[in-house]
Each structure stands twice: as structure tokens, then as C-alpha cells.
Chains A and B, each alone.
Chain A
Amino acid sequence: MKKTLYIFQSGELRRKNNSLYFETDGRKKYIPVEDIGDIYIFGEVDVSKKFLEFASQKGICLHYFNRYGYYMGTFYPREHLNAGHIILKQAEHYLDTTKRILLARSFITGALRQMCQVLKYYRGRLQKGKGEIEDILVQLQSEKETANERGESVEELMAFEGHAREKYYKAFDYILNHPDFVFEKRSRRPPLNRLNALISFGNSICYTMVLSEIYKTYLDPRIGYLHATNFRRFSLNLDVAEIFKPIMVDRLIFTLINKKMITKKDFDKHTDGILLSEEGRKKFIVELDNRMKTTVNHRHLGKSVSYRRLIRLEIYKIQKHILDEKIYEPYQSLW
């Protein structure tokens, strides 16, 4: 399993012989290139063209974040896996409305199921708010059914998802029950409170993780089904991330706050919003990386796979759906 490299320091990233080489304030570090799957760059890191060539040759995606932790973009190496057949099928599933809706609906019902799973997990562990969470679960259930039966267009489906997510976020206050981390309402760019800052940062990492995995398959990340393709660079990763955000980001946030690993000291107030500080981002990333390396048993494969690998398997399933091999059935966690 390849590792992810996170760089918070400022310095220079180069190719030296056949290794990755990072130099910062006179300290030098070699990193074996064969071990690295992708690189997250948070610091002020200089790279040369020669380095980009090297990354491209090794199929390494570079994800850039600015000094506030906002996602800036990805150096997505030239496509190395190309199969005309798959691109045509992927476009066919986009252009044919019935086929597109089928996939879009799967992403939504998959996401809603995962949200329910998260709520059920915490329902059993709460002192206070069991009844409220139960109510929210009932509402999510009905949103899921509506999306399944009445979602005739992508816009409608997006609206159902929006409503459901609003209800889901209401449950956060019961799960966390912490005065420093109240939900209030969802706010982005900039997030207006700490909880929103955590959600935004976590989601943006989740999108890039899925993007890195898509790169290792034949699917083109520019063709998404739920998120419109026309106006953004990548959209398939946003679709797939819907399934993983609840278990990989939201549950991590609950753990970080409940175990007091992240406190209000880990945030910086800016003129208009509030964002994770560099220290906070580091803590978040360390825990997320640990979580992604954790393995679960996969009965069908007959071996254990990491959470990170589950993302790849999910994309394989979508690829199979697109090849008309097998109808896509979104991943459902049992924990």
C-alpha cells in the first residue's frame, strides 16, 4: 500500500537520483519514490519542472492547499491509463438521462445510508438526545425514500440531498454537546464557526483523496453524474466522496472533539471567518491518515483492506457499472 506524503513545512521538493528529496532550512530528507502514492502540499514548497516530470512518470498526484488550508488545485499527471471504450461508456452514462439519474440517485441514497449509519452508531452511546436523533433518523429515512421514488432530475435529487444533509447536521449538536463546537448553520468560504471549519477542511481532503484514487483507474474525473460536469475541472470525485464523507470526515470530527484532541485553541480567527490553524490541520491530518490505514475485513476479496482501499474498490464498482457489467451498489459500512 502506497503512502501519502503531507508537507507542512516550507522548502524545496526535488528529484535527486531516483528519489524524492525535500530540503528545508538546511535539513535534507530523501523519500523513496516507490512508496508514495500522492503528496499534499500545505507549506510554501518550490518544485521544478524536473520534479513534476518525475511525479508524472511515477503517477503521483500533488494536491495544493493555500496558507489558510483552502484547496487550491491538483497537479494531475497526464492520464496514464487510457481505454477508449471506457471513456465512451462514461460519456454515454452522462448523456443518457435515465442512466445518469440512476447513478446520481445511487450516490445520494448511498450517502444518506452512510449518514444514518453514523447517527445510529451515536444514538446508542448518548446520554442525552437519543429521542432527537431518532427523530432525525426517521426524517432521513423518508428523504431517502423520496429521493428513490420521486427524484426525476439531478436538480431535484440535489435538493433532496440538501434537505437531508441539513437535518443530518442538526444531529451534530446532540452528538458533540460541546459549547465550543456548535453547528448553527452550514457556512463555507469562509466557515463562520469552528465546526464548519472542520467540516470544510475534512471534506476538501476527502475530495482529493478520491481524486487520487480515480487517477489509478480508467475513469475520467471530469465526468460526474450528480455534480454537473460542465462547470468544474473535476466532478466524479465529488460524487464518490458523498459516500465517504460521513464515515471518514464526520466521524473523525466527533472523535477529535470528544477526545479533546482538537480544542478551540486549534483555530485562528480571520477578519471574516474562522479556520483551523496550522497546528490544528496537522492534528487533523495525522488522525485522518491513521484512520485511512486502518483495515477492515473484506469477505468477497478474502482479505483485509484499508479504508483508503475501500475508496478504490468503490471506483472499481462504478467502472463496472459503466461497462454494463454490474449495477452499482454503494458501499455501506456496518460500523
Chain B
Amino acid sequence: MDYEMEVTGTHIWYYYICHREVWMIVHQLAPDQEDDNIEIGRFLSEHTYQRNKKEVVIGNIKVDRIRKEGEQLIIGEVKKSSRYKQSARFQLLYYLDTLRNMGIQAKGELLFPEEKKKEILEWTAQDKEELDKAIGDIQRIARLPVPPSPKKISFCSNCAYREYCWAEGTE
């Protein structure tokens, strides 16, 4: 891959969970489509919120929620749980940064409806530095000729790539 790949929110999200997954997604290798979680997810997105799609696409980012509080623009990212908060924070920060480059000053909100929790996020120079480092690293991973080898982490047990990653060895 010799061109500069465009990094997306999904890449950022997975970067803080599993580098191997980043490589897979960049190379268009989708996880097992028969995995229960994937099937449930596909069914839900095909059948729910039909009349009320809130997602907004701005450039190459996809924002779950967008609202105004006075003059302040607030974008929201909805997550099922706060388990991968680091991932969620930097994904949202990436959106804030993208908007900033367009000349829009926005605040972010991480929403965990199932936990009835909410967290405010603001762009800071320090976080931005960390974000740029992550983006550079994602581009490095994308250029690797071979995917990073699998590491057993807690995420594996529910990951739809698990059978692919751990196919070797039986009984």
C-alpha cells in the first residue's frame, strides 16, 4: 500500500483495542459474517430506527448525534458500554479534530445509554499530539506486508475474528 491511507473513526477505535484488527479492516478482510454478534448487529441495523436515522456524515466522519447548546455545537458518540473508553475517547477526539480543521469548534459527548452515563470531551493540544501519534502508527500498520500476529486479550472472546486468529491447533 504505497498511498497515504485515509484514517477513519473505526480505525482509531480498533487501534486502541487490537492492531491486528486494524490491519484486517484496512485490507478489507471482514470478520466471520456468521458470528452471532455480527448477525445480531446486522439485523438490528437493518431493522431498527428506520424512521429516525440520526447519523450525520461530515466529510469522512460519521457522527451519531449532533445538537446545539446555545452557540456551542455538541457531537455525540453512542457506545454500548464504557468498557473500551480509551477507544471511544480517541474516536470522538478525532471527530472533534476533523471539525476543527474545518473551522468548527465543537465539544464532544460520549454516551453510554445502557449505563446511563455521559462524559464530556474537549479538544486539547495534548490529546491532539497523542492522536497524531496514533494516526501515524495506524498508517504504519496499514503498510505492513503481513498482519501483526494475534495476541490473546480479553476482547478475543467476543471478537468475530477469533476463529480466524486462533484456527491453529486442536484438541
A320 within 8 Å of B (CB atoms): yes
Q: Are A326 and B168 in contact (CB under 8 A)?
A: yes
A224 within 8 Å of B (CB atoms): no
A59 within 8 Å of B (CB atoms): yes
A309: which B residues are within 8 A, CB to CB?
163
A317 within 8 Å of B (CB atoms): yes
Q: Closest CB of chain A to B144's CB: distance in Å?
A: 11
B101 within 8 Å of A (CB atoms): no
A299 within 8 Å of B (CB atoms): yes
Q: Which of A44-52, A77-85, A103-111 contacts its partner?
A: A77-85
B164: which A residues are within 8 A, CB to CB?
316, 319-320
Q: Are A216 and B169 in contact (CB under 8 A)?
A: no
Q: Are B29 and A86 in contact (CB under 8 A)?
A: yes
Q: Which of B3-11, B30-38, B127-135 contacts its partner?
A: B30-38
A286 within 8 Å of B (CB atoms): no
CB < 8 Å: which of A301, A319, A324 contacts B145? A324
How many chain A residues touch B (CB < 8 A): the figure is 39
Residues facing A in B145-164 (CB within 8 A) are 145-147, 149, 157, 162-164
B166 within 8 Å of A (CB atoms): yes
Q: Are B29 and A297 in contact (CB under 8 A)?
A: no
How many chain B residues touch A (CB < 8 A): the figure is 22
Q: Closest CB of chain B to A248's CB: distance in Å?
A: 15
Q: How far is the CA of A86 from the CA of B28 in the complex (A)?
A: 10
B29: which A residues are within 8 A, CB to CB?
83, 86, 218
Q: Are A300 and B34 in contact (CB under 8 A)?
A: no
0/1 string, B53-70, CB within 8 A of A gives 1: 000000000000000000
Q: How far is the CA of A331 from the CA of B168 in the complex (A)?
A: 8
Q: How far is the CA of A312 from the CA of B170 in the complex (A)?
A: 13
Q: Are B145 and A300 in contact (CB under 8 A)?
A: no
Chain B residue nearest to A332 in the complex (CB): B170
Q: Are B170 and A2 in contact (CB under 8 A)?
A: no
B27 within 8 Å of A (CB atoms): yes
Chain B residue nearest to A326 in the complex (CB): B168
Q: How far is the CA of A1 from the CA of B34 in the complex (A)?
A: 8
Q: Are B28 and A313 in contact (CB under 8 A)?
A: no
Q: Are A296 and B27 in contact (CB under 8 A)?
A: no
Q: Are A216 and B147 in contact (CB under 8 A)?
A: no
Question: Given A2-B34, A216-B33, A313-B163 in contact, is the A299-B146 Cβ separation under 8 Å?
Answer: no
Q: How far is the CA of A1 from the CA of B39 in the complex (A)?
A: 11
Q: How far is the CA of A37 from the CA of B146 in the complex (A)?
A: 31
Q: How far is the CA of A218 from the CA of B162 in the complex (A)?
A: 16
Chain A residue nearest to B156 in the complex (CB): A302
B147: which A residues are within 8 A, CB to CB?
323, 325
Question: Given A81-B30, A325-B147 in contact, is the A34-B39 Cβ separation under 8 Å?
Answer: yes
Query: A81-B33, A299-B171, A302-B166 are known contacts; what are 6 more A-B pairs with Cβ within 8 Å?
Result: A1-B34, A85-B28, A296-B171, A309-B163, A313-B167, A316-B164
Residue ranges of A at the interface with B (Cβ–Cβ < 8 Å): 1-2, 34, 37, 59, 81-86, 216, 218, 296-302, 305, 309-310, 312-314, 316-317, 319-320, 323-326, 329, 331-334
